[in-house]
Amino acid sequence: MKKILLIFGTRPEAIKMAPLYFALKDASDFFDVKICLSAQHREMLDQVLDFFNIKADYDLNLMAANQTLFDITAKILSNIEQVLADFQPDLIFVQGDTTTTFSGALAAYYKKIKVAHLEAGLRSNNKYSPFPEEINRRLTSVIADFHFTPTESNRQNLLHDGFENHIYVTGNTVIDALFQGLELIKSKGDAPFRDEFKAIDFFKKVILVTGHRRESFGLPFESICNALKKIARNFDVEIIYPVHLNPNVRKPVKEILGNVKNIHLINPVDYPTMLWLMNNSYFVLTDSGGVQEEAPSLGKPVLVLRDITERMEGIDAGTAKLVGTNEDIIFNNAKNLLEKVGFYNEMAQKNNPYGDGKAAKKIVEILKKYYKR
């Protein structure tokens, strides 16, 4: 039995780790798997765990108000040492590019424990965008012994950076989670969601918006909001925007969009609600990495509210379009999706480049072969 510890602390990490956790549990004759939470984001993390009915074995519970990157990094390193001493894992999995990702990998290195990096090889090639994620994932690559990449271009990024061993293209487990999540919603029925959003006319074209990246704070974010207002006033649509709690987001959103009747500003939603909204939208405006990957599997075009993305596969495939934060560019692309059926269908009917929903099973088979050597 090989002991594997999954370390994560945010909602996106939990979503992408959940399918791997279940795949490892299905191989319980070969792997003993446990979960350690940093709880970098407490409430939103717990929502995902509850949805998938996952119980953590270790919970560092480190979230605090107004914590800095210094606080998070230091607390994870100092608190996780006892967990590693207690479980003594053979392999530690970290996911993506959060501060928990890098700190977990560094702690494993200090204990000379092998590290597997889930969703490895993403690069924007700008160390301050996204910040601090670009450097977190680069530093994790240096430490990692196994690199599980979503796409071939991610593998090429690692080869370009000088990494050669144990690089595997598996697809992204976010697609596994998407399909599993939709099945859970289907089994329970969507009446609660219909009731929650009864004030919104889903017979109209619904545009789902997510936006919170810190590199857009200030004038760029105001420009995004002005574009949304222009879309709402020029088209008979419903715009749904779950607004991030950060005051740098909430202030301009409330000031610019608060009185626009067909823009629905709501509080952040849990994972199943986001899946349901995405599945019932016409297209998506987002600066989120996960949404760029998920929406194409549902046939939803994505306009990416960023100047740079580390997920160029969607742009290259045509499922997503990089529109930045310029008001006119955002509006004109939304106008094309709303008015030009051919433009819309060309994006909606492209194949998702991020996987087929079987990434977790592929990863477990790779690990089995490695440990059977």
Is residue 166 annotated as part of the catalytic site, yes or no? Answer: no
Pick the catalytic residue from 42, 138, 166, 244.
Answer: 244
Pick the catalytic residue from 117, 147, 155, 212.
Answer: 212
For every residue of 60-124, which 3-state class applies, written as one string? Answer: CCCCCCCCCHHHHHHHHHHHHHHHHHHHCCCEEEEECCCHHHHHHHHHHHHCCCEEEEECCCCCC
| Residue owning tokens 């819309």 | 344
- CA-nearest of 176, 169, 73 to 121 is 169
| Strand 167-169 relative to strand 91-95, pairing | unpaired
Pick the catalytic residue from 138, 214, 250, 264.
Answer: 214
Torsion of CA 11, 6, 33, 106, to 10 degrees: -170
| Strand 114-118 relative to strand 146-149, pairing | parallel
Is residue 194 annotated as part of the catalytic site, yes or no? Answer: no
Alpha carbons 137 and 101: distance in angstroms, whole number: 8
Pick the catalytic residue from 11, 13, 117, 119.
Answer: 119
Pick the catalytic residue from 13, 133, 287, 310.
Answer: 133
Is residue 160 annotated as part of the catalytic site, yes or no? Answer: no
Is residue 119 annotated as part of the catalytic site, yes or no? Answer: yes
Active site residue ranges: 97, 119, 133, 212, 214, 244
